[in-house]
């Protein structure tokens, strides 16, 4: 196997490879760009026009997606996966990955779309670097651009594998991409309704990619991900890389649950209280009239929506950040 196939090993050790560029026996070019970043380019005659950005480790303790990308990359380096797409593999937060922590100083996935410019520290620098890497990768015109940012969640979930679809004014959701997500094992998709500061929102909004945050289960340490089943996603990614993906049945999204954001719960002060059990799972249902949270100045969040559920509840976030999202079932808008 080519040494560059050991990108994860290099990243965890904080080492640069001796050779920055290597070729497989099939002529696939692997190029190390910077820490945790490697570009894979098929021979020109095999290139099918897809640019696929695969990122993981934006939170350093979310190891199942990191291990998934490591398996794909090693298979490419051995020649058992023969790419027809250009791929950029990114391990987002090497410093946090090395310590098994979610982040070093602050949440990297809250620093995109320019937010890093008003911050400092290792995550702010890395967010800027990741934006530039993605921008350069997606710069060739006339190609299909797709970004999957792979995560696992802090807590368990009633719906274990789901995707978040970013928002951009005037841009409609792709039935084809939703069908692809369903084929990759996603059980639900949250259709967001305002701009965001996460990595997938940056590539969707600024770079014109179809982009998604994928949540694959609960975060566990390296080597302890037997309970996170990514087989369907791994198979689909391999097919996308090799250009052997079955035709997407974009007429039907049967079995895929769609949700929209009803409201975000923002923590304004240290007086904030979230009235939920500490171990509550994502997608837990909330009854109408329930007092979900309260904050200083008599601020209260009372459930008004029919079929409301909660995702990403976290009362420990910094003041001014989102402490949870109230979501509700929805349907896809008709295509114009």
Residues recognised as catalytic: 215
The answer on whether 59 is annotated among ligand-binding residues is: yes
Contacts of 114 (CB under 8 A, 6+ apart): none
The answer on whether 106 is annotated among ligand-binding residues is: no
Three-state secondary-structure class, residue 55: strand
Contacts of 259 (CB under 8 A, 6+ apart): 188, 189, 190, 191, 309, 327, 328, 329, 330
What DSSP character marks residue 26?
T
Q: Which two tokens stand for residue 171?
A: 């841009």
Angstrom distance (rounded) from CA 260 to CA 327: 6
Radius of gyration of the chain measured on its C-alpha atoms: 20
The answer on whether 173 is annotated among ligand-binding residues is: no
Angstrom distance (rounded) from CA 177 to CA 281: 27
Q: How far is CA 175 from CA 131, 165, 254, 326, in A?
A: 27, 12, 12, 24
Give the residue ranges of the annotated binding site for Zn(2+): 59, 62, 151
Give the residue ranges of the annotated binding site: 59, 62, 151
């Amino acid at each position: 196997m080519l040494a560059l196939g050991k990108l994860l090993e290099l990243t965890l050790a904080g080492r640069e490879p001796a050779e920055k560029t290597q070729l497989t026996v099939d002529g696939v070019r692997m190029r190390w760009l910077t820490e945790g970043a490697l570009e894979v380019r098929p021979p020109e005659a095999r290139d099918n026009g897809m640019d696929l950005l695969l990122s993981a480790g934006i939170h350093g303790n979310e190891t199942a997606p990191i291990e998934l990308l490591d398996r794909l990359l090693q298979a490419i380096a051995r020649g058992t996966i023969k790419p027809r797409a250009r791929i950029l593999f990114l391990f987002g937060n090497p410093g946090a990955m090395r310590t098994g922590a979610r982040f070093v100083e602050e949440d990297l996935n809250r620093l995109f779309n320019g937010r890093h410019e008003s911050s400092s520290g290792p995550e702010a620098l890395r967010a800027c670097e990741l934006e530039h890497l993605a921008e350069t990768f997606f710069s060739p015109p006339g190609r299909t651009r797709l970004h999957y940012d792979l995560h696992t969640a802090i807590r368990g979930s009633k719906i274990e594998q789901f995707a978040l679809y970013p928002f951009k004014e005037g841009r409609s959701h792709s039935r084809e991409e939703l069908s692809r997500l369903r084929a990759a094992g996603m059980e639900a998709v949250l259709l967001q309704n305002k701009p965001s500061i996460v990595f997938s929102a940056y590539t969707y909004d600024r770079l014109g990619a179809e982009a998604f945050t994928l949540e694959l289960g609960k975060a566990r340490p390296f080597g302890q991900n037997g309970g996170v089943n990514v087989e369907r996603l791994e198979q689909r990614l391999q097919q996308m890389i090799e250009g052997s993906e079955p035709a997407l049945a974009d007429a039907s999204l049967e079995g895929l649950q769609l949700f929209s954001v009803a409201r975000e719960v923002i923590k304004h002060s240290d007086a904030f209280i979230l009235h939920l059990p500490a171990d509550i799972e994502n997608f837990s249902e909330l009854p109408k009239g329930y007092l979900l949270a309260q904050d200083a100045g008599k601020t209260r969040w009372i459930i008004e929506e029919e079929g409301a559920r909660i995702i990403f509840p976290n009362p420990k976030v910094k003041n001014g950040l989102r402490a949870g999202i109230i979501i509700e079932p929805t349907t896809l808008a008709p295509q114009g």
